[in-house]
Structure 1
């Protein structure tokens, strides 16, 4: 039987999603299975065994929905939540719950590296400022606080590395599964950082290049998942890097924009450069680097707004069998560009680049008697667009590169209002991906290349990705937003000192 299909798994923060693609990037079947997050103050944890259970369940659902024989699957592709850490013994069994990427308990460890090693020195090697988010600080926390667990740990794994072990029985990982301990110039573990963090090399996985066969489905994994024993497993990448690939962004003249719970803006370059204006990620293609900006609150802001101000629209949406955002967007479309001078700075969950201030708080200025809930809703979207523009300008200035257009995906990209506002604020065309599952498609692209369905990643991207819509800037709105953006850029530097007293 011809093996011409790819199964790609996306293990996110809340669930595992499995999609079976044909070699042209068309979706044949989907499956989805949730897993639980346990949150307690600064801690956020998950049970890795639940990841695996969801993995197996979602594949069986996807295979059933695809109506294809499993023998047609040529390879397994993977993309996962980034920076989440789990510790396992010699048999790959988790010793403790995994620390999820936004687990923030490693505050002392971050401070120690800043004070004793230096933020600039760390950033030069790892491509990012020290932060509790990064995988390696979670490992350091275990070393400092749970010595018995640290000593008993055979390997510290990323989510991607955990699935590689469960599928193949081998402790290997993709170098594009971020950890914060790599030398970004070599894509291998930094001897200097391993010494600074006091982490033995033997407790870390061997690394391979994304898009290469990392192993084969074992007999045990075949029994549990329903995959065919011996099916190639191809090294994937973190979710945002895979999303860039699935969006077709492989050259510096386009940016990728994931309008998710957090908003991620990125560009792909063929050289390494570090700067506090962005986070550097390992690229999916050889000798490439992804430069990213993360807006913590992102389209979570829309969820926050709905929960606190939009019960009427939620009830109406239920009766009409619509998403509440559809009704909210219709109301916001009646509001002129600029929301009559109302400006939202969306730092509800702090801010990373360029200010790197976890104590930052959001602000809203320009209120007057004319403003309504619809103004506030539109101003939130505009505020996110201003923040995207702020970061994109810093990208272009720092990297000496002009971005021609932006390719967007994620939940927020389903809103035509959001896409048009962003196009108007950026004064750049916004192109919408042809699939709602760009991250999973990115993993499928790497897998298709890995088993030689395509001769290059570029050929796979060209064939498997599509654009569904384009939003061009409206001249009359561009001028309004340019004037307000000048105010936005001055806003946080002006109020920052006040935030510390709140």
Structure 2
């Protein structure tokens, strides 16, 4: 079993003599997909399966990741896509992986997985509280090195393993992220890449490598860190064992991928200084790209390694816009679900048509879901719709549009926070993910932000970013810039509407004031926080 990088695989394959495909394995929170792209960046075939991560009833807030069940799902999806596509497996020149960030896997010295959790596991309240008692500044001190806090990082979770299942902790030899685990299963090489690895909070963000001193500071072992390979680096070929399980060729190269948001940015061409993007999925991430990074006491957001060498991102996250929209659909749209079966028109398309007739600002109604990001006191008010009246101006479509406007307000606030750190504001943003399929939502974002919003042809850009990584590693593309020039294309540009922007500027001030009051109510225990970070 290989447990370190094999230097033999630093050469590029001769890929010019055959029809070429690139495979991406995209492991999200709620589902996992396997996608085949051609080298022009066109999605050719896709297989997908939902998966669930269960709470261990003994440990409230836990979200276990089932290693054996979930690798079987991935294996079956690969077998299915090979059967569906009927292509020669040898024509898949390279594979790369991407995943939800923050999900971690622990291994023993033989490479056997000991323990794994999904990204929003929140069982470690006690560990966060203990860390904060060690020092009033420990979290901010670590943030200035790693760009991370205890809210989402691996430190409290690994400490939880140490405190609650010490027999497991004592066997730990390596820690990786979920995308690295998929790569390991394909190659027998345990390694990490910086874009997701840095989200552990155990990296030196500027040097893009593990910082063992952080582990020592928080009471963790400092000898559990595998080799770091940049995204786009060749890891190994598909092993004979994984080939036998899936039908993949042992000639296929496996290339280091990255975190979902960072690879999503690659798939949208957001890799250069000042480039900015919003990825609109279950969560909305605002990403601002820079070639240098500074973290000071005023920085209250996350700082991550980009999946491009010597590049970083300031990141601010909005909680649940996509999940809220799904909740609204499933809870209030029974008639539209019936009509969808009759006509084939989706619930979202029906609701968007109606929401277009609602004036900008929803007649003054606002809602509170996610707040602007404060990485050191990250919590959200109780969900609510506020200031509606009992007349026909406030109907289902009004509430639907208010959800859209709320997401745009949070995004505006997050952009302003990062602009204060960088002293720069984006001239435009690229908007990807499922939300960008909605022309109305795109226009609302443009109107609220008062800047151009560009929408790529490939909306689900994370998988495309993984395919680009695979292609760079295999030599299909000479560089990330060349790959992006070849495969990333834009479908639409939305210009801001000046009159709508004026309405939203006034409503945004109201939203900020109301949100503060709503958050105070939750802090005082009169309502329940929609979400609150461990230890707060």
Q: Deviations over 1:54-104 (max 9, x none)?
A: 2222222223333421111111111111111222333433334x2111110
Structure 2 Cα separation of the partners of residues 357 and 170 of structure 1: 36
Q: CA deviation at 1:155?
A: 2.3
What is residue 244 of structure 1 aligned with on the other side? 265
Please state if 1:30 is matched with 2:46.
yes
- Aligned-pair distance for 1:413? 1.5
1:5 aligned partner: 21
Equivalent in the alignment of 2:512: 489
Number of paired residues? 498
- Is residue 101 of structure 1 aligned with residue 124 of structure 2? no
1:122 aligns to 2:142 (yes or no): yes
Q: What TM-score results when the alignment is normalised by the length of structure 2? A: 0.88
Residues 1:447 and 1:402: Cα distance change in structure 2 (over 3 Å): same
**TM-score of the superposed pair, with normalisation by structure 1:** 0.94
- Give unpaired runs (5+ residues) of structure 2: 1-16, 527-536
CA 1:391–1:114: 2 relative to 1, 3 Å? same
* Deviation of 1:359 (Å): 5.7
Given that 1:34 and 1:54 are in contact with CA atoms closer than 8 Å, whether structure 2 keeps it comes out as no
Secondary structure of 2:223's match?
helix
Identify which of 155, 158, 161 aligns with 1:136: 155
> Contact conserved, 1:20 with 1:63, CA < 8 A, in 2?
no
Q: Tell me the SS of whatever aligns to 2:148.
A: coil
Residue pair 2:82, 2:247 contacting (<8 A) in 1 also? no
In structure 2, the residue corresponding to 1:38 is in which secondary structure? coil
1:15 alignment counterpart: 31
1:112 aligns with 2:130: yes
1:86 aligns with 2:102: no
Instruction: Give RMSD over aligned pairs.
Output: 1.9
Moved more, 204-213 or 487-496: 487-496
Equivalent in the alignment of 1:417: 440
- What is the rounded CA distance, in whole Å, between the counterparts of 1:390 and 1:376 in structure 2? 21
Higher relative contact order (CA 8 A, sep 6+): 2
1:356 to 368, 377, 400: 377
Could you tell which deviates more after superposition, 468-477 or 377-386? 468-477
1:356, 1:61 → 2: CA distance?
45
Task: Give yes or no for contact 1:331–1:374 (8 Å, CA) kept in 2.
Answer: yes
Structure 1 partner of 2:494: 471
Q: Is 1:59 matched with 2:78?
A: yes
Kept in 1: contact 2:279–2:432 (CA 8 A):
yes
Distance 2:466 2:248 in 1: 17
2:401 to 378, 400, 411: 378
**1:325 pairs with one of 344, 348, 351:** 348
User: 2: distance between equivalents of 1:318 and 1:365?
Assistant: 33
Distance in 1 (CA, whole Å) between partners of 2:109 and 2:317 is 35
Q: Which residue in 1 is equivalent to 2:10? A: none
2 CA distance for matches of 1:462 and 1:201?
41
- Aligned counterpart, 1:169: 188
- Residue aligned with 1:299, SS: helix
Q: Contact (CA 8 Å) 2:302, 2:375: kept in 1 or not?
A: no
Separation of aligned partners in 1, 2:161 and 2:289: 34
Q: What is aligned with 1:314?
A: 337
Q: Which moved more, 1:267-276 or 1:380-389?
A: 267-276
Counterparts of 1:355 and 1:362 in 2: how far apart (Å)?
21
Structure 1: gaps spanning 5 or more residues: none
Q: Which deviates further from its counterpart, 314-323 or 7-16?
A: 314-323
Tell me which moved more, 111-120 or 222-231.
111-120
Mean alpha-carbon deviation: is it higher for 57-66 or for 460-469?
57-66
Q: Deviations over 1:166-224 (max 9, x none)?
A: 11112112122232210101111112211023333432221111111122211111111
**Aligned-partner Cα distance in 2 for 1:3–1:159:** 30
Q: Which residue number in structure 2 is paired with residue 273 of structure 1?
A: 294
